Amino acid sequence: MNGEPAPIVEVFASFQGEGVLVGTPQVFVRFAGCDLDCLYCDTEYAKAIPEHCKIYSARGDVRKIVNPLSLDELVKVINEIALPDPNVEWVALTGGEPLLYPEYVAQLASRLSEDKFLVYLETAGHLPEALEQVIEYVDSIAGDIKLPSTMKTPVAYEDIYDFWSVAAGTDAFVKFVITDAVERGEIAGLVMDELWEIIGPLTAVLQPCTPTAAAKAPSFELLWSLAHEADHWFDSVRVIPQCHRLLGAR
Enumerate the β-bridge partners of residue 26.
14, 90
* Cβ atoms of residues 179 and 216 within 8 Å: yes
Entry field: residues in the chain: 250
- Beginning with the edge strand found earlier in the chain, give each strand of the sheet holding 172-178 in spatial order: 62-66, 52-56, 8-15, 25-31, 90-94, 118-123, 140-144, 172-178, 203-208, 236-239
- By three-state DSSP, how is residue 172 classified? strand
Angle at 228 between CA 227 and CA 230, to 5 degrees: 60
- Burial of 13-23, coded b for 16+ CB within 10 Å and e otherwise, reads bbbbbbbbbbe
Per-residue pLDDT 10s for the chain (250 aa) are 566 899 999 999 999 999 999 999 999 999 999 999 999 999 999 999 999 999 998 777 899 999 999 999 999 999 999 987 778 999 999 999 999 999 999 999 999 999 999 999 999 999 999 999 999 999 999 999 999 999 999 999 999 999 999 998 899 999 999 999 999 999 999 998 899 999 999 999 999 999 998 899 999 999 999 999 999 999 999 999 999 877 777 7
Q: Using one digit for the tens of pLDDT, what is the confidence trace for 115-171?
A: 999 999 999 999 999 999 999 999 999 999 999 999 999 999 999 999 999 998 899
CATH superfamily of 8-241: Aldolase class I (3.20.20.70)
Backbone angles phi, psi at 38, to 5 degrees: -85, 135
Asked whether the bond before 68 is cis by omega within 30 degrees of 0, the reply is yes
Q: Residue ranges per domain, the chain?
A: 8-241
Contacts 24+ apart (CB under 8 A), 214-219: 214/39, 214/40, 215/39, 215/40, 215/150, 215/179, 215/180, 215/181, 216/179, 216/180, 216/181, 217/179, 217/180, 218/178, 218/179, 218/180, 218/182, 219/180
The torsion of the CA quartet 137, 154, 6, 77, rounded to 10 degrees, works out to -70
Enumerate the β-bridge partners of residue 140.
120
Residue 126 and residue 34: Cα distance in Å, rounded?
11
- By three-state DSSP, how is residue 140 classified? strand
